[in-house]
Amino acid sequence: MSGSYTYRIGNGFDIHPLADGDGITLGGVLIPFHKRLVGHSDADVLVHAIMDALLGAAGLPDIGVLFPNTDPKYKGASSMHLLEEVMRSIEGAGFTVENLDTVLLAEAPKISPFRDLMKEQISQKLKIKSDAVGIKATTMEKLGSIGRGEGIAASATVLLKKAI
Ligand code: MG
């Protein structure tokens, strides 16, 4: 029988507005679209929700504290690069990732053609198998700001594991 473990769950949520543009980055994947996500970094709303879920589970400060949007250092920053930094903090606190599940709330574009690549990219950063990463997408049935196509939101739930 191997040692005992403690498990910690975390959740994260984020939303970014859309504006005229030529593509959005979601889960580290550039998706062709007639709009872009507006934000201080690359505005990868899915990765932002994932980072806050990881940090919350580990009891660490959230991304607003770690990567303030007033810091010019993070202007246009790659969220996948920030995710690497977050993973170093998680591992530094003694945790590994068990699994991740996410929901994207978007009226458009269609996510399914890009889902496998997103899972691949994110699972590599989290050092888990791609089947331990869930990416679900739903529309808002045209209700509210997301339903009108004014923005995209994401929520993420993660389970961390630590030997005790
Ligand atoms: Mg954000």
3-state secondary structure 49-87: HHHHHHHHHHCCCCHHHHCCCCCHHHCCCCHHHHHHHHH
- Give distance in angstroms: CA of 31 to centre of ligand 1: 17
- Average pLDDT of the chain, as a whole number: 96
The pLDDT value given to residue 28: 96
- Give distance in angstroms: CA of 5 to centre of ligand 1: 32
- Give distance in angstroms: CA of 11 to centre of ligand 1: 14
- Give distance in angstroms: CA of 9 to centre of ligand 1: 20
- Give distance in angstroms: CA of 23 to centre of ligand 1: 17
- Mean pLDDT of all residues in 135-152: 97
Dihedral, CA atoms, 86, 48, 28, 91, nearest 10 degrees?
A: 20
The pLDDT value given to residue 158: 98
Higher pLDDT among residues 2 and 4, named by residue: 4
Q: With pLDDT > 90 as the criterion, what percentage of the chain qualifies?
A: 90
Quick: pLDDT tens for 80-114: 999 999 999 999 999 999 999 999 999 999 999 99
For the cut 80, the answer to whether the pLDDT of residue 29 exceeds it is: yes
pTM beyond cutoff 0.75: yes
For the cut 80, the answer to whether the pLDDT of residue 42 exceeds it is: yes
For the cut 60, the answer to whether the pLDDT of residue 1 exceeds it is: no
- Strand 133-138 to strand 96-105: parallel, antiparallel, or no bridges (unpaired)? parallel
- Give distance in angstroms: CA of 2 to centre of ligand 1: 39
